[in-house]
Each structure stands twice: as C-alpha cells, then as structure tokens.
Amino acid sequence: MSLRINDEAPNFTAPTTQGIINFHEWIGNGWAILFSHPKDFTPVCTTELGYMAKLEPEFRKRNCKIVGLSVDPVENHEKWAKDIEETQGYAVNYPMIGDGDLKVAKLYNMLPAEETGTSEGRTAATNATVRSVFIIGPDKKIKLTLTYPMSTGRNFDEILRVLDSIQLTANYKVATPVNWKNGEDVIIVPAVSDDDARKMFPDGWKTVKPYLRIVKQPH
C-alpha cells in the first residue's frame, strides 16, 4: 500500500555515506527530505544530486536535512560523489543511503510497477528506484509525496517552495495560492471567521469572495 500524507514515515536503519543512521533519530526535532534516484553514474541523477548539493544550505536554514537513496552500494555513492562535484560544481555534503537489500525502497514504495523487488533471483542491480520525494515533519509524519518518471529530472526549487509553504501553514491559519513564493500574499483559511481573523491579522485583508481573503504573509 502506498504511503499517504499524514501517515507516519516508516522508520529504518540503513548504511549511508556518513555512517549507519536510524532514520527517525537522524531526523531529530527538525524536518527531513528523503529522495531516491534510479542509479549512480547516470546523467539525470548526476544533475539532480548536484543541484540538491547546491540547495542544501537553503534547506539547512529551514531546519531541514536531506538524504538521498538508491539501491547502489555506499562505495559507489562515494565514488560517484566525486563526479557530481566535478561536473556540477557542488560537493555532496548530505548522506546517501545504500539500499542494497531494497528494504527502504519497499517500505516507501519506490519501485516501479514492473519491479516488485520480490521475484526470485532479482537483485538490487535489476531493481531501480524511481524518482520519489518525501517531505517529513518533526512529528515524523509525511507532509508531501512526489514521484517522477525515471526519464524526467525533478524541479527541486519546487520542493523548497513547498517546504516554505508547509512550514508557514503549520504555524499560521493560512494557505498559499497557486504559484506562491515565500514573501508573497497568502489566503486566510475558510475555517477562520472574520472575527477571529481580525485578531490574527490586525492590519486587515482583502476580501475577493467571502471564502477568498488575501492577506500579507505573516512572520
């Protein structure tokens, strides 16, 4: 069964390029992004992990750790990391999980439909993880799930944007409109009455419709 938003993120212990981690302990009291890639030493994955290396300081500012995963062994990750830095210009300073026994890939339903990971005689080499992303909150609950086809590189700027929205809406009774970016106006959620909204947003808001009230982003 696939994982859904607000499910608890399955815990696991796994080897990484920064040692063995217990996932929930590693997350601690912050946020985390777990993202998988199909295979080391492949072109799209190289660009993706290099871009995540570039964005890692931005995630860190938001108290969010990132960790990559594929079914390749940790030793391959370590060798490949040199290629990533050479070609993309950024060193991979976040851990990469070596999921050789497919344990995490199965827990998080990261295998494509035709690759169950359970057929007799199959190995890690013949099971490729698709491009999955999970944002996990301090409560260890899944806040976002995203899966791309193997042939399409992800937009990690979008993942950062969504994290900004999730963190903002976790603290204030607002929602973010289409294409919202950090710092732009937000929407007061319909469950908040006008009377309560006056207390929360004393500077006022713009009412487009009774259910659509635009207000400056709270801080």
Catalytically active residues, by annotation: 45
Strands (E) across 45-194 are located at 64-70, 96-98, 131-136, 142-148, 174-175, 186-188
Q: What radius of gyration, in Å, describes the C-alpha atoms of the chain?
A: 20
What is the token pair recorded at 71? 């079914």
Of residues 76, 126, 116, the one with CA closest to residue 98: 76
Q: What is the DSSP letter of 200?
A: H
> Is residue 111 exposed (0-12), middle (13-18) or buried (19+ Cβ within 10 Å)?
buried
CA distances from 122 to 74, 125, 132 (A): 20, 8, 21
